[in-house]
Structure 1
Amino acid sequence: MTKILVSACLLGQKVRYDSKGALCGDERFQKWYDEGRFMPICPEVTGGLPTPRPPAEIRGDRVVTAAGEDFTAAFEAGAQAALKLAQEHGVAFAILKQNSPSCGSLHVYDGSFTGAKVAGEGRTAALLRLHGFKVFGEDQLDEAERELAASSGSG
């Protein structure tokens, strides 16, 4: 069965910086969950950060909080753990939380902590892509569905 790496928060797990989940309510997402396709991970928690934690954004080559605390090492450790999980379980692709400094696949917050976004990707999404994995956000399930069909020969 084709496996999909997925942000744990999209499954409703309360792992985000604010101790909330970001449950994806799309029917396809629930179907893939029910089929046992998902390999969930929260790279930030896996990398050693607590829940709750201060929000962090990418600023230059670092991941920092508004107060300047440097979370880069934890984000890098989480990205490496996600890559290892994807490789060990032979996942076909990933569906990650958009805008996150770990998981954003199209956009991330710009580092100003004003809510402004820029084109870019989080640390985990970038590392997965560097190693050949396709990465989609929860707002790209049409593309993910096509990729699943192509990689498994069925929907």
Structure 2
Amino acid sequence: MSACLLGKKVRYDGRALPVADQIIEQWHSERRIVSVCPEVEAGMSIPRQPAEIFEGNGQSVINGEADVIEKEGANVTAEFLAGASVALDLCLKFNINVAVLAESSPSCGSSAIYDGSFSGKKVPGMGVTAALLRQHGIRVFNQHEIAEANQALLATHGD
């Protein structure tokens, strides 16, 4: 699960994006949650410049066809790929097949990301981590789909 959704102040702006949900509390009590912030895992600072995928999406970044660019112009594609790799390694290590990630993030967005113009415009697409996890068969949901994620978890584990 994205660390920012769990109240950790790891977002680019140094803030959290906490989600209060009974299902998450249940997952916590069942010790089902593994927390990750791909950007922080890749060594990026808190706070850090906002970044967006330029002319593409997470899959095109993985394919080498697009880059992740900070607002001031620095190319941070390597960091986003490294962070996605850490998240995938955690999923494989802990046999995780359902992930809940922060929507709109260039790492974690699962159905919408910013368009790369830093204008606040969102487009359909996935972030780098979401795309890599899905590529490896992990079901990715966002913070607005907790109930659906729980159903997927129950269907997968039969409990």
TM-score, structure 1 as length reference: 0.93
Letter in 2 for 1:142: A
- Corresponding pairs, count: 149
Give 1:117's aligned residue: 122
Give the secondary structure class of the aligned counterpart of 1:39. coil
User: Which residue number corresponds to residue 54 of structure 1?
Assistant: 49
1:83 paired with 2:78, answer: no
Shift of 1:131: 0.7
1:34 to partner: Cα distance: 2.0
Give secondary structure in 1 for the equivalent of 2:34: strand
**Matching residue of 1:97:** 102
**Matched letter for residue 13 of structure 2:** D
Unaligned 5+ runs, structure 2: 56-65
Structure 1 unmatched ranges of 5 or more: 1-5
Deviation at 1:145, TM superposition (A): 1.5
Alpha-carbon RMSD: 0.9
Do 2:27 and 2:33's aligned partners in 1 also have CA atoms closer than 8 Å? yes
Deviation, structure 1 residue 142:
2.0
Are residues 1:146 and 2:151 paired?
A: yes
Structure 1: which amino acid aligns with 2:121? Answer: A
Structure 1 residues 53-80: Cα deviation after superposition (integer angstroms, max 9, x where no partner): 0110110211111221111110000000
- Partners of 2:10 and 2:152 in 1: CA distance: 27
Give the match's secondary structure for 2:106. Answer: coil
Partner Cα distance (2:103, 2:94) in 1 = 23
Q: Aligned pair 1:130/2:135, yes or no? A: yes
- Specify the code of the residue in structure 1 equivalent to 2:39: E
- For 2:12 and 2:153, the matched residues in 1 are separated by 30
Deviations 1:68-97 (A, max 9, x none): 111111000000011011001101210000
| Residue number in structure 2 paired with 1:30 | 25
Q: Distance in 2 between matches of 1:59 and 1:19?
A: 23
The residue identity in structure 1 corresponding to 2:157 is S
- Give the TM-score normalised by the residue count of structure 2: 0.91
Q: Distance in 2 between matches of 1:25 and 1:82?
A: 23
> Shift of residue 27 of structure 1?
1.4
What does residue 36 of structure 2 align with?
A: 41
